[in-house]
Amino acid sequence: MSVQGLGYVRISATDLAAWRKFAVDTVGMMPATAPDGSLWLRVDDRPFRFVVEQGSADRFLAAGWEMPSQVHFTACVEGLRRAGIAVRDGTADEARARCVNAVAMASDPAGNAFELYWGRVRAYDNFVSAVGVSGFVVGDLGLGHVVLPAPQLDETASFYKSLLGFGDTDEMRLAMSPDPAVPELRLQFLHAACRRHHSLALIPMPAPSGLIHTMLEMREVDDVGRALDRCVAAGYHISSSLGRHSNDGMLGFYVATPGGFDLEIGCMGVTPDWNTWVPTRSLIPSIWGHQWSPPPQ
Ligand SMILES: [Fe+2]
């Protein structure tokens, strides 16, 4: 009983207009206003893929994991409860607000909140980007991915694999110093049932905003290049220059969002066949580019 893919991301914001300027005017998502006044952000035929809720802090709230059916949803929730995990059944109003049939809420061993849901409605008007993005790669691959803080790396990865059906895609081990006595940084990349290389990655470090980064894939490399130009022109901090990752082949860059976490904008990610995939161990994060720069103080 496996998660199908990343369905949505919930974000708390002190300034919805700042998010709208970033996500709509700069990245190229399509806005809508939720019945409760939240900012819905579309990238495909779903009513939203990001929901930005008015709040007292700028932070990530939760990942919404899509289950392929009611049977999978129910079995997964029961499995979590059998394992002693506290799961709250979402109310009918909460399911309606997410445009899904049913939703349940829980947290992983690192304290990252997540939601499971099944069923959906669709938006019937075409996705249109006001700044000319030709399209986002979503559909059967799910929204993209989230990279979550998980100081308890092994316990958290085991949780997602044993209780939510994720599988190993890649384990990245990065040398943090020429001194071999300094421990490597180990990252876990996990896939859902869909063919996205990883819908979830875990890094053993804290993240004050609740999220290391989330990723959106665009159709064309020129979409990515033009998005980079718009981010630079609008003055957003470019956390990493253009580069191509060693494991998922994603060509893109990272930009700091108003939420205190990064958004990776990329293209050309690989789509493995899980029947023949052998999990990899990557020794470098990127085959070129990705020069990182810390956020301005
Ligand atoms: Fe990423």
Contacts of 278 (CB under 8 A, 6+ apart): none
In the chain, where does the domain assigned CATH 3.10.180.10 lie? Answer: 5-118, 139-289
The Å distance, Cα 255 to ligand 1 centre, comes to: 12
Å from CA of 234 to ligand 1 middle = 22
Measure the CA–CA gap between 20 and 61, rounded to whole angstroms.
Answer: 18
Reported as type and span, the H/E element at residue 162 is helix 153-164
Q: Minimal CA–CA distance to 110: which of 2, 206, 188?
A: 206
Distance (angstroms) between ligand 1 centre and the Cα of 147 equals 7
Helix or strand or coil: residue 55?
A: coil
Beta bridge partners of 200: 146, 190
Ligand 1 center from residue 173 Cα (angstroms): 15
d(CA 197, CA 14): 33
Q: Ligand 1 centroid to 82 CA: how many Å?
A: 32
Tell me, in angstroms, the distance from the centre of ligand 1 to residue 84's CA: 31
CA 54 to chain centre: 20
Gap from CA of 213 to ligand 1 centroid (Å): 7
Residue 25 CB-half CA count within 13 A: 12
| d(CA 7, ligand 1 centre) in Å | 16
Beta pairing, strands 213-217 & 262-267: parallel
Q: Map tokens 């990343």 to a residue.
A: 6
Largest CA distance in the chain: 57
Q: How far is the CA of 78 from the centre of ligand 1 (A)?
A: 30
Could you tell me whether strands 59-67 and 88-89 are parallel, antiparallel, or unpaired per DSSP bridges? unpaired
Q: How far is the CA of 91 from the centre of ligand 1 (A)?
A: 32
The structure tokens 């810390």 sit at 294
- Rounded to the nearest angstrom, the distance between the alpha carbon of 71 and the centre of ligand 1 is 30
CATH topology of domain 5-118: 2,3-Dihydroxybiphenyl 1,2-Dioxygenase; domain 1 (3.10.180)
Please give the Cα distance from 182 to 175 (Å, whole number): 8
**Residue 77 CA to ligand 1 centre (angstroms):** 27
Ligand 1 centre distance from Cα of residue 19 (Å):
20
Q: Does domain 139-289 have CATH number 3.10.180.10?
A: yes
In degrees, rounded to 5, the angle at the alpha carbon of residue 252 between the alpha carbons of residues 246 and 258 is 125
pLDDT tens, N- to C-terminus, the chain (297 residues): 799 999 999 999 999 999 999 999 999 999 998 999 999 999 999 999 999 999 999 999 999 999 999 999 999 999 999 999 999 999 999 999 999 999 999 999 999 999 999 999 999 999 999 999 999 999 999 999 999 999 999 999 999 999 999 999 999 999 888 898 898 999 999 999 999 999 999 999 999 999 999 999 999 999 999 999 999 999 999 999 999 999 999 999 999 999 999 999 999 999 999 999 999 999 999 999 999 998 877
Does this model's pTM top 0.75? My answer is yes
